[in-house]
Amino acid sequence: MMIIFCIGTTLKIFLLPTLLLKSVGRDGLIVISVLLIFELLLLIACLIAIKLSPNLTFTQALERHFGKIAARVIAAILVLYACLKLLLLFTETRSFFESSLFDQFVWPVMGLPLFGLAALVAAKSLSGVSRLFEIFAPLVFASLIILGIMIAPNVDFGNALPLFTAGGGTIARQSLSFAVWTGDFVLLLLFVGKTRPQGKLITLGIISAVIGTLLVIFFAVVLTATFANLPHLIEYGHNMRNLAIFGAGNLAYGRIDIILFAVWAIGLIIQSLLYGYFAVSLLSYIFGVSTGKYRLLLSGILMTILYVVTIVMFSSSSTAYQFARSWPRFLAIGVQCLVIIGAIVMSIIFGRRGKNGKKNTAAKNQT
């Protein structure tokens, strides 16, 4: 539940509403609602996959159903998907420190500890990074609640209206162009075959995701209500500091909001660690690597490549965000739709097997 909450909120709760407000105005609230509904469908699909495959890991299930060659092709596609998400997470982390904490943030130097940490964690165990969610998710949740209480009293929520002014076609196009910001629940495929599926698995997972979704929508409404008439103040990147100042109406709280945002940023960093583990695990499967030494080598090479890309290709946050809205969105849409379709097919197949098993058992008993 802690993992579902964190990966369902961190990448969407502050940056995505800003980008949507710049792109489509108040109708960004409609777009983010569409994206979050699709995200919940993806969550259900991944929970179904976990529940139906208690004895096979994700890669073992791929081999059994598709064969070794196809399984490795699928794993390679998912590695590319994870790398795109990592680039977006690293960019958002960089944007947070540049716009909210430091006047001068030298990313090539200050980003090194983050990539080094990601490389080390990716070569370790899944339980280790999962413990980080268990520790920090309650802190992230508490910080978001406190921040909401600080901001909400002085926000004119009526300023978030009217909606549906951009037209259905524009809303549909914008929903598709921000697909890279969704699909984080694909990470739950890591837990296929590695967790004991309880009877309330799907129910508890959905409850956790709904709580996160409501928080995302709340802050999206607050941002829209605050800046809808002042779009020139919105920049590509984080506007969290301005959001807190405008929303609270004054600086009566001091800069406690910076502390709260920093707690949230921890969740963002932990999510990047989990994506790093996801990518390295699949790379290890593709190359047949099992020992920790070679996993660490793969992890180091991967993070070095991503580090260089963030410096050379993504010299600014706006460059990264524009890239994420180009061809990577089609990969993101394809991966997310395939996961949902795969879960539906699995449930149908296992459902039929269950019915046939019951019929055969009943026939034997009659005999």
Question: Of all helices (H) and strands (E), which one includes residue 283?
Answer: helix 256-287
pLDDT the model gives residue 272: 92
pLDDT tens per residue across span 95-118: 878 776 777 788 889 889 999 999
Residue 348 pLDDT > 90: no
pLDDT tens per residue across span 115-131: 999 999 988 888 888 88
pLDDT the model gives residue 123: 87
pLDDT the model gives residue 276: 93
Tell me which of 1.20.1740.10, 2.60.40.1180, 3.30.420.40, 2.40.420.20 is the CATH number of domain 2-366.
1.20.1740.10
Q: Sorting pLDDT into bands at 50, 70 and 90, what band is 249?
A: low
The token pair at 222 is: 């607050």
pLDDT the model gives residue 202: 80
Residue 84 pLDDT > 60: yes
Greatest distance between any 2 Cα atoms in the chain? 81
Mean pLDDT, residues 197-225: 86
Q: Tokens 């929508």 label which residue? A: 217
Q: What percent of the chain has pLDDT over 70?
A: 87
pLDDT the model gives residue 300: 93
pLDDT the model gives residue 246: 59
pLDDT the model gives residue 72: 93
pLDDT the model gives residue 83: 94
pLDDT the model gives residue 335: 93
pLDDT the model gives residue 307: 93
Mean pLDDT, residues 246-275: 73
- Judge whether 213 and 36 are in contact, CB under 8 Å: yes
Q: 265-293: b or e for each residue (b if 16 or more CB lie within 10 Å)?
A: bbbbbbbbbbbbbbbbbbbbbbeebeeee
Whose CA is closest to 219, among 15, 5, 1? 15
pLDDT the model gives residue 104: 79
Q: Greater confidence, 232 or 27?
A: 27
CA separation for the pair 352, 58 (Å, rounded): 22
Q: What is the pTM of this model?
A: 0.87
CA separation for the pair 57, 292 (Å, rounded): 19
Mean pLDDT, residues 179-205: 84
Mean pLDDT, residues 4-24: 85
Segment among 46-60, 65-79, 93-107, 285-299 with least mean pLDDT: 93-107
Q: Sorting pLDDT into bands at 50, 70 and 90, what band is 247?
A: low
- Residue 18 CB partners (closer than 8 Å, separation 6+): 223, 234, 235, 236, 237, 238, 239
CB atoms within 10 A of CB 190: 23
Q: Sorting pLDDT into bands at 50, 70 and 90, what band is 184?
A: very high
Whose CA is closest to 186, among 69, 311, 334, 63? 334
pLDDT the model gives residue 201: 77
Mean pLDDT, residues 133-160: 85
CA separation for the pair 367, 354 (Å, rounded): 20
Q: Sorting pLDDT into bands at 50, 70 and 90, what band is 242?
A: low
Q: Greater confidence, 227 or 269?
A: 269
Average pLDDT over all residues of the chain? 83
pLDDT the model gives residue 237: 56
